[in-house]
Amino acid sequence: MNILGIYGAIGWDGNIPHMVERMGNFWVHGSGATLIMNGKLKNAINEERFSRIKYDGAYPYLTIQTILDNNKITKHDIDVVVYVCSHIEVNLALRQKGYISAKLKEYFPNCTVEYLPHHVAHAAATFYTSGFEEANILSFDGAGDHELQDNGQLLICHFKFLSGKGSTLIEHHSEFGHYGPMDNSFGNIYSYFSEFAYKKKMNLAPNTGNKILEESYPGRIMGLAAYGDHTKVDIPEIFTLERNRQIYNEEWEECFPQLRCQQPSTPSHELTALNPDDLAAWSQNQFEKFLLLFLDNIPKKIKRDNLCLGGGCALNILANSKIIEQGIYKNVHVNTAPGDDGLHFGAALAKSIEYEDTTTLPNDIGYLGITYTDEDIEEALCLNK
């Protein structure tokens, strides 16, 4: 069976950089595709490698054609296409209208089209590459995708806490309220403060920047945090941890913790007046403090020795290391591409685990592009002279 995982915009331009009035955000980043043939992982590549557009979010035409050619197959040979959804409003509308399914069937005439939730794809990518027989899994980032609630509401899921055992993923908190507007999400609030710190450090005006630059704020500020002092920043904390009896689970005999993100109450002019090094240190401290509190309060009956992290927030290596240092988990695994650039990989992997008797991953899992011959390299060198 040939399984193709895809992430990227279908039916709109995923590289539109800003909000479109009355239509929401069109920006997608990290599009790409993964091919698994008869349980063997062949390629997992992002579109930016061929388009040369940083964080390219467009439908990965170039990637898909390259993968097909590299494996000497055609679009007619794809049996299953699994598409990962995003929080973009137009993505939801196009799925509901059947547009995305129709386009994928047009592109791959003999395929079955399946969808995988955003955070489940992140979870699959990290757990199935961990080598752990059992583990807890936390997928957290700026925003996942729209999910239908029991009351009929469609809300955006910010993060999921799951457990993995063997080939099975178990969601633990779908009903526990980790949903809401994007500006209340764990990753977006960190990005919010990162933007202020970065622009202040670089003497940039508040309205300066673009989507490509914005994607780099959190990583830059994580590094800048080492130069600041978080105790010098006196503003309200941006997260709260709750243990609400309303979400008590009799099977666990404990409450599941709720991590609430609060919209920043500090005026922007006060933030820009702060020392950027100290603001960076404070943002990092908040991230670490409440992540560790959340993980340290997972109910004992579902707590495991191992933890797998996925989603863009799993790129925060300072916080990841403290999970081990504080003894909250014995082992922590983060897959090679924990951000959205690994969603197509997680999707293909999840479906291969589901459909195939065995799924084989290479040891050098960080190198899943195509093979270049000496002739290819020589030709590229000549073109660049």
Strand 80-84 and strand 2-7: pairing?
parallel
Domain membership of residue 326 as a residue range? 155-334
* Residue 36 Cα distances to 238, 345, 350, angstroms: 42, 9, 11
- Same domain for 189 and 100: no
- Same domain for 112 and 57: yes
Q: What is the pTM of this model?
A: 0.93
Q: Find, among 195, 215, 188, the residue nearest to 54 by Cα.
A: 215
The whole-angstrom separation of Cα 206 and Cα 76 is 50
Identify whether 143 is part of a domain. no
pLDDT of residue 182: 44
Burial of 84 (0-12, 13-18, 19+ CB in 10 A): buried
Query: Mean pLDDT of successive 10-residue segments in the chain (385 residues)?
Result: 97 82 79 97 96 95 97 98 92 94 97 96 97 96 81 80 95 56 68 89 80 84 94 88 64 74 73 91 94 91 96 94 95 96 98 95 87 86 73
pLDDT of residue 110: 97
pLDDT of residue 22: 62
- Same domain for 124 and 244: no
- Same domain for 231 and 323: yes
Identify whether 233 is part of a domain. yes
**377, 384 in Cβ contact below 8 A?**
no
- Same domain for 280 and 305: yes
Residue 336 makes CB contacts below 8 A (sequence gap 6+) with 129, 342, 365, 366
* Residue 153 Cα distances to 108, 143, 147, 150, angstroms: 32, 17, 8, 7
- Same domain for 119 and 83: yes
- Same domain for 295 and 236: yes
pLDDT of residue 211: 76
Identify whether 77 is part of a domain. yes
Identify whether 137 is part of a domain. no
- Same domain for 186 and 329: yes
- Same domain for 238 and 179: yes
Q: Which CATH number do you get for residue 252?
A: 3.30.420
Number of domains in the chain: 2
**342, 336 in Cβ contact below 8 A?**
yes
- Same domain for 375 and 252: no
Quick count: other Cβ atoms within 10 Å of Cβ 378? 10
Residue whose entry in the numeric block shows the structure tokens 């002019």: 269
The whole-angstrom separation of Cα 139 and Cα 108 is 30
- Same domain for 63 and 207: no
- Same domain for 186 and 321: yes
